[in-house]
Amino acid sequence: MVTDKSIPDKMYFKISEVSKLTGLEPYILRYWETEFKMIKPMRTKTNQRLYRKKDLELIFRIKQMLYEEGFTIAGTRKKLEEESAKEPEQLNLNLEEKKYLSLLIALKKELKAIRVALR
């Protein structure tokens, strides 16, 4: 079985590839997309899902929490949301990484304000 440590070095993965790598059926992956909004595969013009490495890592994490750690779907969702909401100071980052993360957060806020202004 492939783990998140040995995900092939590719930019995008089709749902069949993700299914083989994770050992999950495609219908489970599609269902998880509805339950975990953090899983956001890109879509091609023909509406085919293309997962990124980040999506695969998240899928492996969800699978671990649900199947090995005994979390419920709601519990997994809540835990992942808590983890993603951590402030830069709470993350295990060095000073330079925290500086860049703060800049990215500020840039994201500015971009959202521009988007609102353009509407």
In sequence order, what DSSP letters do the residues of 23-60 get, joined into one string? T--HHHHHHHHHH-TT---EE-TT--EEE-HHHHHHHH
Q: Which two tokens stand for residue 60?
A: 């492996």
pLDDT digits (tens, 9 = 90+) for 94-117: 677 777 778 888 898 899 999 889
Q: Which CATH architecture has domain 4-85?
A: Orthogonal Bundle (1.10)
40-85 residue pLDDT tens: 999 999 999 999 999 999 999 999 999 999 999 999 999 988 887 7
∠ at Cα 108 (105, 111), nearest 5°?
155
